[in-house]
Amino acid sequence: MPFVPRKNSTISTSYYNELGEPESYKEAMAALGMLQSKPKESADPNNLKDTWKYLYRSGITARDIDTLSVIHVAGTKGKSSACAICESILHSFGCKTGFFSSPHFISVTERYHINGRPITEKYFSKVFWKLYNTLDKYKEHAADLPTYFKFLTILGLHIFFDSNVDVAIIETGVGGLYDSTNIVRNVQTIGITSIGLDHSDVLGKSFEEVAAHKAGIIKPNANVFLAPVDYRVYDIFNAQAHERNANLFIIPDMSEYAFKKIPKQLSSRDQLQNINSSLGIQLAYDWLRRYRSNKLKNFKSGIVLDTSPEVVKGIESCRWPGMSHIVQVGNKTVYLNGADNINSLRTCIDWFKNLTDSSNKYRCLVFNPMPNTDVKVALLAIGNNINLEMALFVPDIHYHNKERHLDCEHTWQSSTLQIDMAEACSKFWSKISNMPPMKVKHFTSVLDAFLYLDKFYPDVEFDILVTGSMSVIGATRRALDRYRILII
**Predicted pLDDT of residue 15:** 41
Is a pLDDT exceeding 60 seen at residue 268? Answer: no
The strand pair at 332-336 and 167-171 is best described as: unpaired
| Domain assignment of residue 370, yes or no | yes
Report in angstroms the alpha-carbon separations of 420 from 38, 286, 307, 342. Answer: 20, 48, 51, 21
3-state secondary structure 1-34: CCCCCCCCCCCCCCCECCCCCECCHHHHHHHHHC
Q: Which amino acid is at 66?
A: D
Asked if residue 3 is part of any domain, the answer here is no
- Same domain membership, residue 470 and residue 348: yes
- pLDDT tens, residue by residue, 220-247: 999 999 999 888 899 999 999 999 999 9
Which of residues 317, 342, 365 is at a domain's end? Answer: 317
For residue 123, is pLDDT > 90? yes
Q: What average pLDDT does range 423-428 have in this prediction?
A: 95
Range of the domain at 457: 325-487
**β-pairing verdict for 390-393 and 440-442:** parallel
The CATH number given to whatever domain includes residue 219 is 3.40.1190.10
Last residue of a domain, one of 295, 317, 339: 317
**Confidence bin at 7 (pLDDT 50/70/90):** very low
pLDDT of 485 strictly over 80: no
Q: How far apart are CA 67 and CA 161, in angstroms?
A: 9
23 in a structural domain: no
Q: Is it the case that residue 266 has pLDDT exceeding 90? A: no
Helix orientation angle between 148-163 and 46-58, rounded to the nearest 10 degrees: 40
The answer to whether residues 190 and 94 belong to one domain is yes
- pLDDT-derived band at 391, boundaries 50, 70, 90: very high
Bigger pLDDT: 441 vs 102: 441
461 & 367 share domain? yes
In a domain, 180, yes or no: yes
The predicted structure's pLDDT at residue 104: 84
142: exposed, middle or buried (C-beta count within 10 Å: 0-12, 13-18, 19+)? exposed
DSSP string, 234-299: HHHHHHHHHHTT-EEEEPPPGGGSB-SS--HHHHHS-HHHHHHHHHHHHHHHHHHHHH-GGGSSSP
In a domain, 4, yes or no: no
Shared domain check, 134 and 178? yes
Tell whether 341 and 257 lie within a shared domain.
no
User: 381 and 285, same structural domain?
Assistant: no
> Is residue 163 domain-shared with residue 291, that is, in the same domain?
yes
Question: What's the total number of domains in the chain?
Answer: 2
Task: Give domain status of residue 383, yes or no.
Answer: yes
Centroid of chain to Cα 423: 27
Say if residue 341 is in the same domain as residue 260: no
- List the one residue out of 204, 200, 259, 250 whose CA is nearest residue 229: 250
2 is a domain residue: no
Are 331 and 273 contained in the same domain?
no
- Of the listed ranges 46-60, 99-113, 249-263, the least confidently predicted one is 249-263
Separation CA 482–CA 445 (nearest Å): 12
**Last residue of some domain: 301, 317, 333?**
317
Same domain, 269 and 357: no
Query: From its phi and psi, is residue 460 left (phi > 0), alpha (psi between -120 and 50) or beta?
Result: beta
How high is the pLDDT of residue 461? Answer: 96
Q: Does residue 11 fall inside a structural domain?
A: no
Average pLDDT taken over every residue of the chain: 86
- Are 242 and 291 contained in the same domain? yes
CA separation for the pair 83, 277 (Å, rounded) = 9
291-339, pLDDT tens digit by residue? 887 777 666 778 888 888 899 899 888 877 667 788 999 999 999 998 8
Task: Report the alpha-carbon distance of residue 382 to residue 361 in Å, rounded.
Answer: 18
**pLDDT of residue 13 exceeding 50:** no
Of 292, 344, 329, 385, nearest in space to 467 by CA: 344
Closest C-alpha among 112, 96, 115, 116 to residue 104? 112
Percent of the chain with pLDDT over 70: 86
What's 441's domain CATH number? 3.90.190.20
List phi, psi (to 5°) of 77.
-120, 125
Report the greatest alpha carbon distance in the chain: 70
For residue 92, give the nearest of 244, 260, 295, 253 by alpha carbon. 295
If asked whether residues 257 and 337 sit together in one domain, one would say no
- At residue 6, the pLDDT reads 36
